[in-house]
């Protein structure tokens, strides 16, 4: 059975109860988070800004993914792909 606390957020046209949680710090970004997470958040924030100004372009249910390639020393070397929908 779904938690009543989750139902408070999802029963009002909110998001579903799915999510990905990262719980560690890293020195690969200035935010101490994995670089793909930092970059995806920046894309999502920009998508939200665009949705406010151009609602026909981005709706309220946008998604993004940023894939980063790493070298053999676990250092990010380049952004591989950026997906926005």
* Mean pLDDT, residues 50-58 taken together: 81
CB of 22 within 8 A of CB of 69?
Answer: no
What does the alpha-carbon distance between residue 11 and residue 78 come to, in Å, rounded to a whole number? 40
What is the average per-residue pLDDT within 6-19?
Answer: 60
Domain boundaries, the chain: 25-84
Read off the pLDDT of residues 60-82 as tens digits, 9 standing for 90 and up.
778 899 999 999 988 899 999 99
């Amino acid at each position: 059975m779904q938690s009543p606390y989750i139902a408070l957020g999802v029963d009002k046209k909110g998001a579903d109860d799915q999510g990905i949680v990262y719980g560690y710090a890293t020195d690969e970004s200035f935010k101490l988070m994995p670089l793909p997470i930092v970059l995806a958040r920046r894309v999502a924030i920009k998508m939200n800004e665009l949705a406010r100004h151009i609602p026909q372009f981005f709706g309220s249910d946008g998604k993004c993914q940023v894939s980063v390639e790493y070298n053999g020393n676990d250092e990010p070397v380049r952004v591989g792909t950026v997906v926005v929908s």
